[in-house]
Structure 1
Amino acid sequence: MMQEGIFSLAVFAVVATITPGGATTLATDSGARFGYRRSVPLMAGIAAGLASMAALAAVGLSTAILAVPSLQLILKLLGTAYLLWLAFKIARNGAPQSSSAPTSPAGFVTGVWLLWQNPKGWTMTLGAAASFATLADGPTRLATLLGVAFAVASSVSLSIWCVAGLLLARRLRSERQWQVFNLILALTLVMSIVPMWLE
């Protein structure tokens, strides 16, 4: 029974982290522009942000967030504003060699911040804490279990998206192709905002 529960948690974490959203979009964009190695700090920040959110959800922060509806609204507003700003920046980027392109990849802190203000991440980790609470005999062990599960799953998922961006970038030759690619990524990021307002 315990092994089945761990397997279910692993499947949940992989599915939750590999679906398109703000984090996967940034990993794809970073991979396309800077390659895998230079994107590692961003991906590590996203994984750490998600792991820490899952751990906090397990030790009881979920109670505070669910008890104060205004806190949920503030998180949604902050998250929406930040993701729209990122989408705007991505849409305005040119090809990597153009003057409008960023010269350095986003770092660890950006990755953590992206997750911490993202209501989709909180909803996902709060749901995991509630769904898999019986896998551990206390909040500390559950926090460790969820933190590790989400850190590993997001690291794998983000790596896949980053490599996909890297491989796709090798096929983009013209400034126009890069503009279309950037616009698609920006629109994907904007579309990832919609589900958090429909919940």
Structure 2
Amino acid sequence: MSPETILPLAVFALISTGSPGGATTLATASGAHFGFRRSMPLMVGIAAGLASMAAAAAAGLAGVLEAMPSLQLAMKAIGSAYLLWLAGKVATSGAPRLDKDLAKPTSLLGGAWLLWCNPKAWAMTLGAAASFAALASSPAALGVLLALAFGLAAALSLSVWCAAGLLMARVLRTERQWRVVNMALGVLLALSILPMWL
């Protein structure tokens, strides 16, 4: 496989994982409140969730979800409820309190759960599986290729968003500034649910 054939997949994965959405907003908020190191489980969970979802889409699991609208609706409802709960937590948090006993960032499983219950992410990975199927000789090979592409792209983009949150933590000084930023991040996270339902 030459770099010319893999480049379109790499660009697609970077753009789709780097664009603002629920995962990037959560990584930004986590970076601001917990720092980069304590946000690693969340970012690894999201990247692993997306990588495994891309592999599953290549294997045909997304087709099962499309064939079972009730399962898809249940996943959408559960995912939306989880994102709204996270948005509420982000919106009502104050200035960062880096005392490890007072605050806990979202876990690795929480990050993976965020992706697996997101129909928008399923649509993205299913689209990638269909668009880039010619790059691999079998569904298993395509699954590995997509998992690597999306996992690495998500790790990179989430690191950038988390670092942006960490930078905010160094720039913002007052409780009022943090209330405004947290409310904005919470609203953005809640709004990221809308494309799932439209």
Question: Which residue of the partner structure matches residue 107 of structure 2?
Answer: 107
Contact conserved, 2:46 with 2:111, CA < 8 A, in 1? yes
Name the amino acid aligned to 1:70: S
Corresponding position: 1:160 with 2:163: no
Name the amino acid aligned to 2:160: I
Q: Secondary structure at the match of 2:20?
A: coil
Deviation (angstroms), 1:128: 0.7
Question: Which residue of the partner structure matches residue 56 of structure 1?
Answer: 56
Contact conserved, 1:93 with 1:102, CA < 8 A, in 2? no
- Deviation track 1:95-132 (CA, whole Å, cap 9, x = no partner) reads 12399x96122221111111111111111111111111
Question: Which residue of the partner structure matches residue 41 of structure 2?
Answer: 41
Pairs within 5 Å for 1:13-28: 13-28=13-28
Q: How many residue pairs are counted as aligned between the two chains?
A: 197
Deviation (angstroms), 1:174: 0.9
Q: Secondary structure at the match of 2:54?
A: helix
Pairs within 5 Å for 1:121-140: 121-140=121-140
Alpha-carbon distance in 1 for matches of 2:139, 2:74: 26
Q: CA RMSD in A?
A: 1.8
* TM-score, normalised relative to structure 2: 0.94
Alpha-carbon distance in 1 for matches of 2:97, 2:139: 49
Name the amino acid aligned to 1:189: L
Question: Which residue of the partner structure matches residue 85 of structure 1?
Answer: 85
Alpha-carbon distance in 2 for matches of 1:183, 1:161: 17
Contact conserved, 2:33 with 2:98, CA < 8 A, in 1? no
Alpha-carbon distance in 2 for matches of 1:79, 1:113: 8
Structure 1 residue ranges (4+ consecutive) displaced by more than 6 angstroms after TM superposition: none
- Gaps of at least 5 residues in structure 1 are none
State percent identity of aligned pairs.
61
Question: Which residue of the partner structure matches residue 76 of structure 1?
Answer: 76
Deviation (angstroms), 1:3: 3.6
Question: Which residue of the partner structure matches residue 118 of structure 1?
Answer: 118
Alpha-carbon distance in 1 for matches of 2:63, 2:43: 28
* TM-score, normalised relative to structure 1: 0.94
Name the amino acid aligned to 1:150: F
